[in-house]
Amino acid sequence: MKKNLMISIWMTLATTAIFGLLYPLAVTGLAQVLMPANANGQLLSPGGKLVGSRIIGQPFSAPQYFHSRPSAAGNGYDPTSSGGSNLGPTNKALTDRVNADVAKLQAENPNTPVPIDLVTSSGSGLDPHISPAAAEFQIPRVAHVRGISEQDLRTIVARHTKGRDLGFLGEPRVNVLELNLELDAAHPFAH
């Protein structure tokens, strides 16, 4: 009995050391060596100032910026509270919010269908991307407020539009933070 107890204790200590310490340290070290940007959250620091992460959405509400998808994560874009709202399509709170968002967006861009991703949140609530249709929908507002041509803005959006991964995985998308950073760099907004 004593022998079995000692074996159990040593196996617990050994597996804890291997899988609780050595393995995580090895994986973290390899990630830092092989792909440090990914291992550190793909942070963006133009001019040495940290502005966000390439892989976590951020709220943009000022008219001179492209707006992100709505977020249901915590108070919005909270990476510690990732998750959808879990509200079903017949939930009154959800339909009221979506209808209000659609009305607001239709006032901004009349006679143009509102892309679904501008009024619905993603499953994580942290999606940093919008569809090319959502970016196109916002071009007239952003171009007008910034005083640049819609065609120049379409060129910038096209540069930030990523296709399907490997040609068939996922959907085409535009990273909102990267797009807005280029806008600030190329066409600064004069208040």
pLDDT digits (tens, 9 = 90+) for 38-95: 888 888 888 889 888 899 888 898 999 999 998 887 777 777 777 777 788 888 988 9
Q: Which amino acid is at 168?
A: F
Q: Look at residue 191 in the predicted model and tell me its pLDDT.
A: 67
Statement: residue 16 has pLDDT above 90: yes
Statement: residue 176 has pLDDT above 70: yes
Q: Look at residue 48 in the predicted model and tell me its pLDDT.
A: 87
**What is the per-residue pLDDT across 95-153, written as a single tens digit (0 to 9) for each?**
998 999 999 999 988 889 999 999 988 878 788 999 999 999 999 999 999 999 999 99
Listed by start position, the domains of the chain span: 1-40, 42-186
Beta bridge mates, 42:
none
- For the chain, helix (H) and strand (E) counts, in that order, are 7, 5
Say how far apart CA 103 and CA 118 lie, in whole Å: 12
Say how far apart CA 146 and CA 185 lie, in whole Å: 12
CA 118 to the chain's CA centroid? 13
